């Protein structure tokens, strides 16, 4: 009789079982001061674990697989490919609190392009993991650079962090903007400015 495969975390350490994860939720509920066995909370550990599976599904996805199917007939197109207003729903690694916003992605193709939905999926892969907004922005750019070898990549993420809105300083109107430029976008300020203008973020 074959054994079930042991799930691995991103660092190759064995993942705890679902039962262990549910028990951890029960512990947190009790630590917060409530009774995990009362009627309204007894199914909460199971619901939280299911929510974690959805929120952090990016650990089970490989961005390079997503970007592996490319189209080499670009008919001489050599200008920016831009995707605007990509929804970002993520959790920061410091408090596991949500941060929600938009991503803007551009790349300058060389001899191949990728289906535009694949770019959206790559953003989702990295947003469905624990990290900082800064590292997520850099990871998206690196994944596109590694897979497509473009002449340059530009990423902007604008998000509101609930670790600032619901705790700590309690500032609800503050958003965080991060950018990452590679290749021609990094070396050509005029190209950066054009990207900012085309995504509608110019002042």
pLDDT digits (tens, 9 = 90+) for 11-35: 677 889 999 999 999 999 999 999 9
Cα(145)–Cα(94) distance, integer angstroms? 27
Cα(160)–Cα(173) distance, integer angstroms? 8
Q: Is 1 exposed, middle or buried (0-12, 13-18, 19+ CB in 10 A)?
A: exposed
Cα(51)–Cα(98) distance, integer angstroms? 13
Bridge partner residues of 152 (DSSP): 108, 183
Domains in the chain: ranges and CATH: 1-55 (1.10.286.10), 62-198 (3.30.1130.10)
Active site residue 95: yes
Q: Give which of 82, 192, 178, 186 is closest to 131, Cα–Cα.
A: 178
- Evaluate if pTM is beyond 0.85: yes
Catalytic residue among 19, 85, 93, 134: 93
Catalytic residue among 91, 124, 133, 180: 133
Q: Mean per-residue pLDDT for 66-87?
A: 91
Distances (CA, A) of 183 to 16, 48, 175: 41, 42, 27
Count of beta carbons in the 10 Å neighbourhood of residue 70: 16
Q: What is the pLDDT of residue 57?
A: 95
Catalytic residue among 61, 95, 162, 184: 95
Active site residue 170: no
Catalytic residue among 94, 134, 171, 193: 94
Judge whether residue 177 has pLDDT over 50: yes
């Amino acid at each position: 009789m074959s054994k079930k495969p042991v799930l691995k975390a991103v660092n190759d350490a064995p993942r705890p079982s679902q039962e262990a994860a549910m028990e951890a939720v029960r512990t947190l509920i009790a630590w917060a001061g409530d009774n995990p066995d009362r009627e309204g909370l007894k199914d909460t550990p199971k619901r939280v674990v299911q929510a974690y599976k959805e929120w952090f599904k990016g650990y089970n996805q490989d961005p390079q697989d997503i970007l592996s199917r490319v189209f080499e007939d670009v008919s001489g197109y050599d200008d920016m490919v831009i995707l605007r207003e990509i929804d970002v729903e993520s959790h920061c690694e410091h408090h596991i609190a949500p941060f929600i916003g938009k991503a803007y992605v551009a790349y300058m193709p060389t001899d191949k392009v990728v289906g535009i939905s694949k770019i959206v999926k790559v953003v989702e892969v990295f947003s469905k993991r624990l990290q900082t907004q800064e590292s997520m922005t850099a990871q998206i750019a690196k994944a596109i650079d590694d897979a497509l070898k473009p002449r340059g990549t530009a990423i902007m993420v604008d998000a509101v962090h609930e670790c600032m809105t619901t705790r700590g300083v309690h500032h609800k109107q503050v958003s965080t903007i991060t950018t990452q430029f590679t290749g021609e976008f990094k070396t050509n300020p005029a190209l950066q400015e054009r990207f900012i203008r085309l995504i509608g973020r110019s002042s």
